[in-house]
Amino acid sequence: MAPVLLYGPHQGYPPLRRELAQWLSEVYSPPTGATTMDRICITNGASGNLANVLIKFTDPSYTRRIFMVEPTYFLACPIFEDCGFLGKLRGVPETVQDGVDIDFLRRELENAELDARNACLRSGQKDEPAAKCGPCYPHVYKYVIYLVPTYSNPSGKTVSVAMRKQLVLLAREFDALLITDDVYDFLSWQEDTESAHDAVAKPPPRLVDIDRSLPGGSVHGNCVSNGSFSKLIGPGVRVGWAEGTPAFVSQLAEVGSSSSGGAPSHLASTFVEHMLRTQWLQHYIRDILVPTYKERYCALMTAIADRLIPLGYAMEAKILSGTADETSGVAGGFFTYLRLPLGLPFAKVVAAIALKDHALRIAFGHMFTVAGDHGSVARAEADGGFAYCVRLCWAWHEADEIQEGVLRLAAVTKDVRARVERGEDVAAGISIGIR
Ligand SMILES: Cc1ncc(COP(=O)(O)O)c(C=O)c1O
């Protein structure tokens, strides 16, 4: 037992890295060949690793912007802010077609580059990292692009393969690091199969695999995949992994807190290794997790179709977007995003009334704006914006509770609509925390 109770190797428990490499190779079948353990660093989950990546590979004096695909996973915002990027976060709209408005992103990158060059000309300072320099920081990126490309939290959208390639090429062009939270990839199912066992569907290729397979990649690469066991075993386990080029992950492993404390979550990572090595986790995902989520997903979709669509709700996006043949008939993740019926106020008002008068808690569009970006709020609040949407989750509740929740949402909707028709100012006095 001594090795598991001592400080773990900085890059993580080698048997877990080996098991993970094998499992990831099976799940993704990367086109360039199997995932090898030198591409993997064990983490204490996607959140902690996001902070470590920023500590090791960004410098607020040099890294110009953090781009976050919006509606965004809002709890990532304070991680970026803690790492020195307060006021430097910018939203990039999702699109229904491909998943990301890449023309918008390119324009923003070009503008930020111009601003940075002009600032250097004015100040006479060199365009180089001021704080993170020297051998401990072999590559500091100019930009970060953050997204949840598969079954996004909150929108449920999946970015098409074609767009994934475009993102990798754009990141290479602008020296950007794509950080992808790939935490829902394993929860994917065919909608039309009856049998639980053949329900599991293959996730699309990760951006990190695309970065590996396209010629012309750099030593540190332009993409890191942030994986986690939180959605597979439970968030309390605090074990995850990062995958990137061998140079990237070995540098990530040398973040100061790992140099001092050893690999994060070392003891727990030995338990996870046992679960993977014995195939327990693989069977659990296939036989318990996916069938359970599929059943709850179906309960939610049926309830939405029966109770909410007749009231004027619309599914904001299919669970998967992209080219039809790439994605049809596959669903997954935790969430779906619904647009409120026309004439209703912002979803945050509906959510406040739902909580106060109907004991129903729902997540609303304003929560998913990018912190400190006025453009993100303006886009959310514009006609057709995501502030008029709610996020519903099928993962936590049993099917009968999901049905009850949707019944309550239908009642809230009728209630709010009646108040609006009576000319009441429904937003007056409403206050609901965004974060
Ligand atoms: C997109 C996304 N990233 C990260 C996390 C948190 O992951 P972890 O528990 O591994 O820190 C979540 C949890 O909801 C999530 O939805």
* C-alpha–C-alpha distance, residues 60 and 85, integer Å: 6
Write out pLDDT tens, residues 42-77: 999 999 999 999 999 999 999 999 999 999 999 999
Distance 47 CA to ligand 1 centre (A): 6
Distance 122 CA to ligand 1 centre (A): 41
Distance 428 CA to ligand 1 centre (A): 34
Omega into 291 within 30° of 0, i.e. cis?
Answer: no
CATH of domain 7-281: 3.40.640.10
Write out pLDDT tens, residues 14-25: 999 999 999 999
pLDDT exceeds 50 at position 325: no
pLDDT exceeds 80 at position 194: no
The predicted structure's pLDDT at residue 327: 53
- Every domain of the chain with CATH number 3.90.1150.10 lies at 289-421
Ligand 1 atom at minimal distance to the Cα of residue 73: 1
Ligand 1 pocket member 230 (CB < 6 A):
yes
Ligand 1 pocket member 46 (CB < 6 A):
yes
Write out pLDDT tens, residues 63-118: 999 999 999 999 999 999 999 999 999 999 999 888 999 999 999 999 999 999 99
- Every domain of the chain with CATH number 3.40.640.10 lies at 7-281
Q: Name the average pLDDT for the chain.
A: 93
Percent of the chain with pLDDT over 70: 94
Question: Which among 41, 69, 73 is the best mutation to test ligand 1's pocket, defined by most ligand atoms within 8 Å of the CB?
Answer: 73
Class level of CATH domain 289-421: alpha beta
Write out pLDDT tens, residues 231-282: 999 999 999 999 999 999 999 999 999 999 999 999 999 999 999 999 999 9
Ligand 1 pocket member 395 (CB < 6 A):
no
- What are the distances in angstroms from CA 97 to CA 15, 178, 234, 322? 41, 20, 33, 5
- pLDDT band of 321, cuts 50, 70, 90: very low
Distance 372 CA to ligand 1 centre (A): 21
The predicted structure's pLDDT at residue 328: 64
Residue 22 CB-density burial (10 A; 0-12 exposed, 13-18 middle, 19+ buried):
middle
pLDDT exceeds 90 at position 299: yes
- pLDDT band of 324, cuts 50, 70, 90: very low
